[in-house]
Amino acid sequence: MTAVARVRVPPAPRTRRAMPVRAALEWAFGTECARLDHDEIEAVGGTGWRSYGMEYVALERAQLGTRVDTSRGRSSPHDDAELIATVVRNVLPWYAATLVADLARAGRTPDWMPDARPHCVPVKWRPSPAGPRAAQDFGDTWRYRAGRGRNGNKLVELRAPCCPVTYYPTAGQIASARRAWLDWYGYLLEVRCALEAAGLRSLRLTDDMPPMTPWKNSS
Protein backbone atom coordinates (compact mmCIF):
# COMPACT_ATOMS: atom_id res chain seq x y z
CA MET A 1 0.00 0.00 0.00
CA THR A 2 1.14 3.45 -0.80
CA ALA A 3 0.82 6.03 1.90
CA VAL A 4 -0.86 9.14 0.67
CA ALA A 5 0.32 12.31 2.33
CA ARG A 6 -2.42 14.62 3.44
CA VAL A 7 -1.84 18.22 2.55
CA ARG A 8 -3.63 20.78 4.69
CA VAL A 9 -5.00 23.57 2.56
CA PRO A 10 -5.03 26.86 4.47
CA PRO A 11 -8.45 28.50 4.60
CA ALA A 12 -9.03 31.40 2.28
CA PRO A 13 -8.59 34.77 3.95
CA ARG A 14 -11.83 36.31 5.09
CA THR A 15 -12.93 39.24 2.98
CA ARG A 16 -13.54 42.31 5.04
CA ARG A 17 -16.55 44.41 4.19
CA ALA A 18 -15.70 47.88 2.88
CA MET A 19 -17.60 50.63 4.63
CA PRO A 20 -17.29 54.43 5.09
CA VAL A 21 -16.72 55.64 8.62
CA ARG A 22 -20.23 57.08 8.95
CA ALA A 23 -21.80 53.78 7.87
CA ALA A 24 -19.50 51.92 10.27
CA LEU A 25 -20.62 54.14 13.15
CA GLU A 26 -24.30 53.67 12.28
CA TRP A 27 -23.77 49.90 12.10
CA ALA A 28 -21.96 49.80 15.45
CA PHE A 29 -24.31 52.05 17.43
CA GLY A 30 -27.55 51.54 15.51
CA THR A 31 -27.57 47.93 14.29
CA GLU A 32 -25.30 46.34 16.90
CA CYS A 33 -26.39 48.66 19.76
CA ALA A 34 -22.86 49.25 21.03
CA ARG A 35 -22.62 51.59 24.00
CA LEU A 36 -20.11 54.07 25.35
CA ASP A 37 -18.50 53.39 28.69
CA HIS A 38 -18.38 56.59 30.71
CA ASP A 39 -15.93 56.03 33.55
CA GLU A 40 -15.50 59.41 35.19
CA ILE A 41 -12.95 58.05 37.69
CA GLU A 42 -10.49 57.02 34.98
CA ALA A 43 -11.23 60.04 32.80
CA VAL A 44 -8.88 63.00 32.92
CA GLY A 45 -10.39 65.87 34.85
CA GLY A 46 -13.88 64.38 34.65
CA THR A 47 -14.18 65.47 31.01
CA GLY A 48 -14.30 61.96 29.61
CA TRP A 49 -10.88 62.19 27.98
CA ARG A 50 -8.76 59.08 28.49
CA SER A 51 -4.99 59.42 28.80
CA TYR A 52 -4.08 56.21 26.94
CA GLY A 53 -4.00 55.79 23.17
CA MET A 54 -5.00 53.25 20.55
CA GLU A 55 -2.01 51.01 21.29
CA TYR A 56 -3.51 50.30 24.70
CA VAL A 57 -6.93 49.64 23.18
CA ALA A 58 -5.53 47.13 20.68
CA LEU A 59 -3.49 45.38 23.39
CA GLU A 60 -6.50 45.20 25.71
CA ARG A 61 -8.61 43.62 22.98
CA ALA A 62 -5.90 41.04 22.16
CA GLN A 63 -5.62 40.05 25.82
CA LEU A 64 -9.36 39.79 26.45
CA GLY A 65 -10.31 37.94 23.27
CA THR A 66 -13.95 36.82 23.09
CA ARG A 67 -16.06 37.79 26.07
CA VAL A 68 -18.81 35.75 27.65
CA ASP A 69 -22.29 37.15 27.17
CA THR A 70 -23.75 37.78 30.62
CA SER A 71 -26.63 40.01 29.52
CA ARG A 72 -30.26 38.98 29.68
CA GLY A 73 -32.55 39.01 26.70
CA ARG A 74 -30.03 40.27 24.14
CA SER A 75 -26.74 39.22 22.61
CA SER A 76 -23.53 41.19 22.90
CA PRO A 77 -22.59 43.54 20.05
CA HIS A 78 -20.15 42.38 17.39
CA ASP A 79 -16.49 42.57 18.38
CA ASP A 80 -15.83 45.24 15.76
CA ALA A 81 -18.83 47.24 17.01
CA GLU A 82 -17.42 47.10 20.54
CA LEU A 83 -14.04 48.21 19.22
CA ILE A 84 -15.59 51.11 17.32
CA ALA A 85 -17.38 52.25 20.49
CA THR A 86 -14.11 51.98 22.43
CA VAL A 87 -12.28 54.04 19.82
CA VAL A 88 -14.96 56.74 19.82
CA ARG A 89 -14.86 56.78 23.61
CA ASN A 90 -11.08 57.18 23.79
CA VAL A 91 -10.18 59.51 20.93
CA LEU A 92 -12.93 62.09 21.45
CA PRO A 93 -13.95 64.18 24.47
CA TRP A 94 -17.06 62.86 26.17
CA TYR A 95 -19.43 65.51 24.75
CA ALA A 96 -18.15 64.82 21.23
CA ALA A 97 -18.29 61.04 21.67
CA THR A 98 -21.92 61.16 22.83
CA LEU A 99 -22.83 63.45 19.92
CA VAL A 100 -21.25 61.10 17.37
CA ALA A 101 -22.85 58.03 18.98
CA ASP A 102 -26.33 59.58 19.27
CA LEU A 103 -26.36 60.78 15.67
CA ALA A 104 -25.09 57.41 14.43
CA ARG A 105 -27.68 55.54 16.50
CA ALA A 106 -30.45 57.63 14.94
CA GLY A 107 -28.96 57.53 11.44
CA ARG A 108 -28.87 61.32 11.34
CA THR A 109 -26.39 64.12 10.70
CA PRO A 110 -26.19 67.58 12.30
CA ASP A 111 -28.72 70.06 10.92
CA TRP A 112 -26.68 72.58 8.94
CA MET A 113 -29.87 74.47 8.06
CA PRO A 114 -30.08 73.83 4.29
CA ASP A 115 -31.29 76.77 2.20
CA ALA A 116 -31.55 78.92 5.31
CA ARG A 117 -31.76 82.67 4.69
CA PRO A 118 -32.63 85.43 7.15
CA HIS A 119 -36.27 86.42 6.62
CA CYS A 120 -38.19 89.36 7.99
CA VAL A 121 -41.04 87.93 10.09
CA PRO A 122 -43.51 89.43 12.58
CA VAL A 123 -42.65 89.16 16.25
CA LYS A 124 -46.22 88.14 17.15
CA TRP A 125 -49.13 86.58 15.32
CA ARG A 126 -52.86 86.87 15.88
CA PRO A 127 -55.61 84.48 14.76
CA SER A 128 -58.12 85.60 12.14
CA PRO A 129 -60.85 83.93 10.01
CA ALA A 130 -58.46 84.02 7.03
CA GLY A 131 -55.57 82.55 8.98
CA PRO A 132 -52.74 83.93 11.15
CA ARG A 133 -52.01 87.61 10.72
CA ALA A 134 -49.25 89.82 12.04
CA ALA A 135 -50.16 91.29 15.41
CA GLN A 136 -50.11 95.07 15.66
CA ASP A 137 -48.52 97.11 18.35
CA PHE A 138 -47.90 100.79 18.97
CA GLY A 139 -44.59 102.38 18.23
CA ASP A 140 -42.93 105.46 19.66
CA THR A 141 -44.90 108.58 20.43
CA TRP A 142 -44.43 111.29 17.82
CA ARG A 143 -44.77 114.96 18.76
CA TYR A 144 -45.24 117.73 16.22
CA ARG A 145 -46.80 121.17 16.00
CA ALA A 146 -49.80 121.77 13.76
CA GLY A 147 -52.64 124.25 13.17
CA ARG A 148 -52.99 127.78 11.94
CA GLY A 149 -54.35 131.05 13.22
CA ARG A 150 -55.23 131.20 16.87
CA ASN A 151 -54.68 127.47 17.29
CA GLY A 152 -51.43 127.52 15.39
CA ASN A 153 -48.29 126.01 16.70
CA LYS A 154 -50.25 123.45 18.73
CA LEU A 155 -48.29 120.50 20.10
CA VAL A 156 -49.82 117.21 18.95
CA GLU A 157 -48.84 113.75 20.17
CA LEU A 158 -49.40 110.72 17.95
CA ARG A 159 -48.71 107.07 18.66
CA ALA A 160 -49.09 105.26 15.36
CA PRO A 161 -49.78 101.50 15.12
CA CYS A 162 -47.00 99.35 13.71
CA CYS A 163 -46.00 95.72 13.19
CA PRO A 164 -42.85 94.74 15.11
CA VAL A 165 -40.63 92.44 13.05
CA THR A 166 -37.47 90.43 13.51
CA TYR A 167 -35.15 88.39 11.33
CA TYR A 168 -35.18 84.58 11.55
CA PRO A 169 -33.01 82.66 11.32
CA THR A 170 -30.27 85.10 12.10
CA ALA A 171 -26.90 84.99 10.41
CA GLY A 172 -25.39 83.93 13.73
CA GLN A 173 -27.74 80.94 14.03
CA ILE A 174 -26.89 79.78 10.51
CA ALA A 175 -23.17 80.16 11.17
CA SER A 176 -23.47 78.23 14.44
CA ALA A 177 -25.27 75.33 12.74
CA ARG A 178 -22.62 75.08 10.06
CA ARG A 179 -19.84 75.29 12.62
CA ALA A 180 -21.44 72.30 14.36
CA TRP A 181 -21.39 70.38 11.06
CA LEU A 182 -17.68 71.12 10.61
CA ASP A 183 -17.00 69.95 14.18
CA TRP A 184 -18.85 66.68 13.49
CA TYR A 185 -16.89 66.24 10.26
CA GLY A 186 -13.64 66.66 12.21
CA TYR A 187 -14.76 64.09 14.79
CA LEU A 188 -15.38 61.56 12.00
CA LEU A 189 -11.90 62.20 10.62
CA GLU A 190 -10.34 61.54 14.02
CA VAL A 191 -12.33 58.34 14.49
CA ARG A 192 -11.51 57.08 10.99
CA CYS A 193 -7.77 57.63 11.46
CA ALA A 194 -7.86 55.84 14.82
CA LEU A 195 -9.90 52.91 13.49
CA GLU A 196 -7.44 52.34 10.65
CA ALA A 197 -4.85 51.41 13.29
CA ALA A 198 -7.22 49.59 15.64
CA GLY A 199 -7.31 46.26 13.82
CA LEU A 200 -10.91 45.78 12.71
CA ARG A 201 -11.51 42.14 11.82
CA SER A 202 -14.57 42.16 9.57
CA LEU A 203 -14.66 45.77 8.36
CA ARG A 204 -12.38 47.81 6.14
CA LEU A 205 -12.87 51.55 6.25
CA THR A 206 -12.87 53.45 3.00
CA ASP A 207 -11.85 57.06 2.49
CA ASP A 208 -15.42 58.14 1.72
CA MET A 209 -16.59 61.00 3.92
CA PRO A 210 -19.71 63.16 4.09
CA PRO A 211 -19.33 66.49 2.25
CA MET A 212 -17.25 68.90 4.26
CA THR A 213 -19.26 71.98 3.28
CA PRO A 214 -22.60 70.84 1.85
CA TRP A 215 -23.97 74.40 1.86
CA LYS A 216 -21.44 75.33 -0.85
CA ASN A 217 -22.55 72.43 -3.04
CA SER A 218 -26.23 73.35 -2.66
CA SER A 219 -25.85 77.02 -3.47
110 with 77, same domain: the answer is yes
Give the residue from 153, 168, 183 where a domain finishes.
168
Q: Are 17 and 203 in contact (CB under 8 A)?
A: yes
In this structure, is residue 8 part of a structural domain? no
In this structure, is residue 2 part of a structural domain? no
23 with 68, same domain: the answer is yes
In this structure, is residue 205 part of a structural domain? yes
28 with 105, same domain: the answer is yes
In this structure, is residue 153 part of a structural domain? yes
CA atoms within 13 A on the CB side of 173: 11
101 with 184, same domain: the answer is yes
Q: Which residue has the higher pLDDT, 11 or 18?
A: 18
In this structure, is residue 6 part of a structural domain? no
Question: Based on the number of CB atoms within 10 Å of its own CB, is 174 exposed (0-12), middle (13-18) or buried (19 or more)?
Answer: middle
134 with 194, same domain: the answer is no
27 with 76, same domain: the answer is yes
In this structure, is residue 130 part of a structural domain? yes
In this structure, is residue 163 part of a structural domain? yes
42 with 97, same domain: the answer is yes
Q: Are 205 and 24 in contact (CB under 8 A)?
A: yes
Distance from the first to the final alpha carbon of the chain: 81
Per-residue pLDDT at 126: 87
**Number of separate domains in the chain:** 2
pLDDT band at 16 (very low <50, low <70, confident <90, very high): confident
83 with 94, same domain: the answer is yes
Cis peptide before 129 (omega within 30 of 0): no
For residue range 26-71, list pLDDT tens digits in order: 999 999 999 987 654 444 444 444 444 555 555 555 554 544 444 4
43 with 100, same domain: the answer is yes
User: Is pLDDT at 10 greater than 80 in this prediction?
Assistant: no
Q: How far apart are CA 21 and CA 30, in angstroms?
A: 13
Q: Give the C-alpha distances (Å, rounded to integers) separating 81 from 69, 109, 171, 205, 210.
A: 15, 20, 39, 13, 21
Q: Which residue has the higher pLDDT, 78 or 179?
A: 179
**The one-letter amino acid at 142:** W
**The one-letter amino acid at 206:** T
Mean pLDDT of the chain: 80
Q: How far apart are CA 166 and CA 109, in angstroms?
A: 29
In this structure, is residue 201 part of a structural domain? yes
SS3 string, 43-60, reads CECCCCECCCCHHHHHHH
155 with 72, same domain: the answer is no
For residue range 141-168, list pLDDT tens digits in order: 767 667 666 666 677 777 778 888 888 8
Range of the domain at 125: 119-168
